[in-house]
Amino acid sequence: MKKNCFVFTLVFFFISSVLFAAELVPIPVGLKVDAKKVQLGKKLFLDPILSKDKTLSCMSCHNLLHNGADTIAYTKGIEGQLGLFNVPTVYNSVYNFRQFWDGRAKNLKEQALNPIINPVEMGNSMPVVLRELKESKVYPALFDALYEDGITEDNLAEVLAEFEKTLITPNSPFDRYLNGDAKALNMHELEGYRLFKTKGCISCHNGINIGGNLYNKFGIYEDAKSEELGRYNTTHREEDKYVFKVPSLRNIALTAPYMHDGRAKTLEEAVNIMTKYQLGRPMDKDDLHRIVDFLNTLTGELPEIVKDMNVRYQ
């Protein structure tokens, strides 16, 4: 039985590698967006007015000056409460097929308001948010210039999502390689890319975001001992226990700690965990280091819209 399982796994990884290799495409330089809605969404993303006690903004948990996420396993929300998941990056999230680790939001617009009304995160309520925006000195005029109905829940979600669409990080070394620059990756990085495909990593981490386009169970070959139940919390189906959205590997070198619970502090540790629980194929140190070399090539450039935040953001 074990032999048959091993053979099936090898065949699966080989077929997956061939099928998905062609789907790795570079991040485009930009997306078509409504510039005025983007600017309003950016202003709100930085404004603590959206949180209950006016101490947190979206930027508080999603550091756009670094990785679009945080650097600790669980970020503190309102009144010091710890979140339930390791904060995922907002960079390139427009390319995820679902939002949040458990996939409970279908798109950026559906995702945008969740942190605001989450009692552990920003702890506010939508009626209060809308009232305070309408009472502010600046927001009524800004919304009225864009929408006939002014400040509404739907319009708030739309401008936040429109801004988040712009948070893409193109021109990574790997993107340049995919665009035809044969010298963009060195020999170690190219070997890591080859191993990434042949070892089976690409079977889950594929597409434009090199992940973020399917669900998978955490702990296929061994029990990964996850306290969080993942998709099960939304669907309540037994088969969805410990199932999570596969994360994007874009900018992965910057987004430690890793996994939905932040259990891995380094890329080396994260790759080791994946080989144990997801691939069932222990990897020697040389191969592991080459894959990490490849992962380091996935760091792209900050979008123009956030570059001036280094001066303005407090």
Known active-site residue 121: yes
Helix (H/G/I), strand (E/B), else coil: 207:
coil
Quote the tokens at residue 117.
């009304």
Q: Rounded to 5 degrees, what angle do the CA atoms 220, 19, 169 make?
A: 85
Q: What angle do CA 240, 292, 305 make, to 5 degrees?
A: 80
CA–CA gap between residue 314 and residue 300 (Å, rounded): 24
DSSP character at residue 138: S
> Amino acid identity, residue 184?
A
Tokens of 213: 């386009």
Helix, coil or strand: residue 78: helix
Q: Which of 121, 189, 191, 228 is flagged as catalytic?
A: 121
Give per-residue burial for 102-127: e unless 16+ CB within 10 Å, then b. bbbbeebbebbbebbbbebbbbbeee
Which positions are annotated as active-site residues?
Answer: 121
